[in-house]
Chains A and B, each alone.
Chain A
Amino acid sequence: MPGTKNLKSISVDLEVMTPDRLTKIIFGLDKSTDVETVDWTIEFQFMQRATKTDEFGDPLVKLTVDVKKANQGLAEETAIKGLNSRQTDHLLGPALVAAKRLKEGTTTSEKAAATVERTLAKRNA
């Protein structure tokens, strides 16, 4: 980044629609930096619609997850290199289901957030 020598602030978002075109998930990574710390945040949104011609509207589930220190290196690597297929397997499997369960009230936001954050760990699984 010209002028800042290294990237102090970046966000990357991946939007994926399921093949039936009724569900959309957004997996976003956001980096912010101050003099003492580097913070990474995952934003995960889950959207559904009844028919393919409807608008998705507001997300049914919106999770914001502060990435643990242990996963920050993976977050940086994922932001720069993109998600690999192990991570997208997790995204379209357990992470997607965690969002549905949270919407239905069968899991807690803490557990759903942990499942979403696990996407980072799957990079080297």
Chain B
Amino acid sequence: MMFPGVDLRLTFVAIALMLRASEASAQCPDRTFDVFEAQGYRVRTVRVGGPLIGGAAFEELVRASTPLKPASPFRAAGIEDGKAVIRSALRNAPSLFESPVAVTVVTAGVVECDETTRQLDVLYRVFTSKLPLTGLGTLESRQADADDPAGRLALAPAPVRFRIAPLARYNTSEKLVAGARVSLKVPRLFDRFEAEVQASQTAAFADAGLTGGRTKPSGFVRGVEWRIAYHHADRPSDGETLKVRALVAQASAVTQPFGGAGGVFRFASLFEAGEQRTTLESPDLPPGYIARAGFGSWKNAVNATAGSLRHALSASYGLQLGLTKGTESIDYVKHAADVAYDGRLTSRSGWWAHRPLDLMSRFAGGRLHGERAVPLTERFFGGNVEVPFMASEGWTMRGNPVLRSVPAYRFDRINRSTRGGDSFLSLTVTAALPLWFKPLVPPEVADDREIRQGIEGQLDSAESALETVHKADDPAHAEIVAKLPALRLALTAMNTRLSTLLPTLPDPQAAAAGTCDEQIDGLLELIANAKYLGFLIEDSSDEDDVTLPSVLRACVDQLSLKVGDSELTKAGQEIATSLEFARLRIARVDVDKARQRAVRDMRFPRHVVKTVFAELNAVSVGPLLILDAARIGQREPLAGRTTRFGLGGGVRLSVASAFHVIAGYVWNPDRREDERRGAGFARVEFSPLFGK
């Protein structure tokens, strides 16, 4: 396998350190490779490096496919062979998505020459990118960009058949929760089987189901997703456990981006049916609530997200209609609303380079209505774990008050007899700043003028290619395409007439007829297959170059005018008319608009590339600052409300953008006597580690 996931993830640091080491070492004299070969140098090491490249796999490939092996004589042809092997492997590497454009730069060089022992190191530098043209612009996709830059650049191993990601967290209510997320590719209607299982001595969570989705590059709706799943949750509250088991069916859609901020709208609808229960006895329940019930519910949600590449603002609203064993057609109604802002303040130079200040904030609220037979578990139980309103990995919408100074699900006491709330408000703010870091791409490489220039050049290539594609979409170009049948008729008429006249033509004119015939055949093929017809009006650069002017020159100037045949003359006039028509229309193609579209298309890929070079860290450590406020409330007859705050901090350690350790403590400054002083938390997050 070309890009083993483990290698890709875990060699980031090694690559970075390797590149740094190589830059600091003695350099080789400025000679061509054949000179080193003639001087009898031997290979000491073969290394392949570059941002987000699994160098070890390539090194193995080069050693296996070329004479470049440690201790072997250095061969100039071998170093070129190695470059070809890397290039070919990158071309054939499958990606997570199909990129309309992809750019690759491979350089080969020799470094660290030892003149005494006649040894040298071979170093290949690789930059490749199979680029998605647009980000979805949702908060969740921004997080995915940060967590999985290799995936966003389509460098991850793909198509991914399975992935396993371990999960672990600790909090006072749930204790140490451990588990894993598994994803397995399946064929047909559903794309993947996904399961997430986590358990501790007090809590258990399991979600397993089939997920499918489709995206398309145009139209109002750009993506749809569907999912059927089994959901199981045991949430330990204050003395009892809130249990939910349900079958879930969900569909969601995301629209095209709108406006300069690339805003998108999302819609989701979810049906679920199952059982909710607690161990609470009836006398302890608020009026209208039941401890256990079979239930069915229908949730609908809408979301709008807008923002730039560094800032995103998102607003969601959800409505749930619930049915239990009550006599009403709808036994309870739940509303949830959520506004979130995520931002990254950074600079690509000075102290702030590689020290992005991440700001994450979310304000949410909810209300539950119901007079009879409402499951207690539907009430709002707060604490330092979020309960999503909709079960969707790609769409975060808060369904409970998050208060990180209180253990999970234990922010539930409005008064002594009421558990949970029928309304809530919740504000959370988190700021994180890496203070110490090692860049993913070492500054010596990131600042190398030639490497940067090569990459920029290829991004420009991609932009030019997109400009051509967009010019072909222009209405003026479409008019030329619409007129092609007339041009084809004129060319065919001239060809047919030439065939008739050929036996009667003297030698010089017969030779000219042959040239004309070749030009016409070439042009007929071109207009039948070319994606962009701008070449039609250009002057030919040599005798084999076929354009309308070259056809007119070969068939009219060199032949028709000399033969004086009326049918040839007529066909020639029609071809000349077509040339004039094409000239006028090509002049009207809105090149600026096509260029602007291409620039817009490439904005996201350029941003991703710049981020990789200027912001991503192989290792970083920094503080977290946390500020929370939350309130739960209850209507009559047990009316009341409770508000609490959380103020704290922690530390975040990130390794290779794939492994994060987050730990901290949040104080509860306005606590009741029976409440804790605060709550500690620890979380280990992995991006997928194992996958094929």
Chain B residues numbered 429-462 whose CB sits less than 8 Å from any CB in chain A: 444, 448, 450-451, 453-454, 456-462
Q: How long is the Cα–Cα vector from A10 to B100 in the complex, in angstroms?
A: 23
Minimum CB–CB distance from B544 to chain A (whole Å) comes to: 6
30 CB contacts below 8 A, A to B, read A2-B27, A2-B109, A2-B444, A3-B28, A3-B123, A4-B109, A4-B110, A10-B105, A10-B454, A11-B105, A12-B103, A12-B104, A12-B105, A13-B104, A16-B100, A16-B101, A16-B462, A81-B453, A82-B460, A82-B461, A85-B468, A85-B595, A90-B535, A92-B465, A92-B531, A92-B532, A115-B544, A118-B545, A121-B541, A125-B538
CB neighbours (8 Å) of A90 from chain B are 535
Contact A111 B457 (CB under 8 A): no
B109-127 with Cβ < 8 A to chain A: 109-112, 123, 125
Q: A8-B33, A85-B591, A97-B530 are in contact. List 20 more A-B contacts (CB 8 A).
A: A1-B109, A2-B22, A2-B23, A2-B109, A3-B28, A6-B30, A12-B458, A17-B99, A32-B80, A34-B32, A35-B32, A82-B459, A84-B460, A85-B464, A85-B595, A92-B468, A97-B528, A114-B544, A115-B544, A115-B545
Is residue A79 contacting chain B, with contact meaning CB distance below 8 A? yes
Q: Determine the distance from Cα of A118 to Cα of B562 in the docked complex, in whole angstroms.
A: 31
The interface residues of chain A lying within 8 Å CB-to-CB of B84 are: 11, 30
Residues on A with C-beta less than 8 A from B330 are none
Check if B108 is an interface residue, CB within 8 A of chain A: yes
* Number of B residues, CB within 8 Å of A: 76
- The answer on a CB contact under 8 Å between A82 and B541 is no
Q: Within the assembled complex, what's the spacing in Å between the Cα atoms of A82 and B106? A: 14
Q: Is the CB of B465 within 8 A of A91?
A: yes
* Interface check B340, CB cutoff 8 A: no
In A69-94, which residues have CB < 8 Å from any B CB? 79-85, 87-94
Q: Which residues in A have their C-beta under 8 angstroms from that of B111?
A: 2-4
The CA of A15 and the CA of B88, in the complex, are separated in Å by: 12
Q: Give CA–CA (A123, B101) in the complex, Å.
A: 20
Contact, CB under 8 Å: B28 / A83: no
For B112, the chain A residues whose CB sits under 8 A away are 3
> Contact at B461–A5, with CB atoms within 8 Å?
no
Number of interface residues of A (CB under 8 A): 55
A9 touches B33 (CB 8 A): yes
Q: Which residues of B contact A10 (CB under 8 A)?
A: 105-108, 454
Binary interface profile of B, 77-89, with partner A (CB < 8 Å = 1, else 0)? 0011001100100
Option from A8, A13, A28, A100 in Cβ contact (under 8 Å) with B109 = A8
Contacting pair A16 B110 (CB below 8 A) = no
**In terms of DSSP, what is the predominant structure of the interface of chain A?**
mixed
Residue from A11, A81, A122 in contact with B460 in the complex, judged by beta carbons closer than 8 Å: A81
Of A2, A10, A21, A115, which is in contact with the most chain B CB atoms at under 10 Å from its CB? A2
In Å, the complex CA distance between A41 and B200 comes to 61
* Complex contacts, B453 vs chain A, CB 8 Å: 80-81
Q: Is the CB of A17 within 8 A of B100?
A: yes
Q: Is A60 part of the contact surface with B, judged by Cβ < 8 Å?
A: no
Known: A2-B27, A17-B99. A93 touches B532 (CB 8 A): yes
**Which residues of B lie under 8 Å from residue A80 when comparing CB positions?**
453-454, 457
Q: Nearest Cβ distance between residue A57 and chain B, in whole angstroms?
A: 10
Residue of A nearest to B125 (CB): A1
> Which residues B540-571 have CB closer than 8 A to chain A?
541-542, 544-546
Of residues B35, B106, B535, which shows the largest number of chain A Cβ atoms within 10 Å of its Cβ?
Answer: B535
Q: Does A33 contact B (CB under 8 A)?
A: yes
B103 touches A93 (CB 8 A): no
**Chain B residue at smallest Cβ distance from A43:** B87
Nearest residue (CB) in B for A52 is: B98
B467 contacts A by Cβ under 8 Å: yes
* Nearest chain B CB to A23 CB, angstrom units: 8
The answer to whether A88 and B80 have CB atoms under 8 Å apart is no
Q: Is B34 an interface residue (CB 8 A)?
A: yes
Residues of chain A contacted by B525 (CB below 8 angstroms): 97, 100-101, 106
**B106, A11: Cβ atoms under 8 Å?**
yes
| B457 and A82 form a contact (CB under 8 A) | yes
* Known contacts A8-B33, A15-B91, A89 near B532 by CB under 8 Å: yes
Interface centre among B80, B110, B460, B541 (most CB of A within 10 A): B80
> Would B469 and A19 count as touching, CB distance under 8 A?
yes
- B533 near A: Cβ within 8 Å? yes
Contact present for A82 and B27 (CB under 8 Å) = no
A79 and B534 form a contact (CB under 8 A): no
Tell yes or no: B102 within 8 A of A by CB. Answer: yes
- Please give me the residue from chain A that is nearest to B113 by CB atom: A3
Which chain B residues lie closer than 8 Å to A88 at the CB level?
Answer: 461, 464-465, 467-468
Assembled-state Cα–Cα distance A82/B606 (Å): 14
| Cβ of A9 to closest chain B Cβ, rounded Å | 4
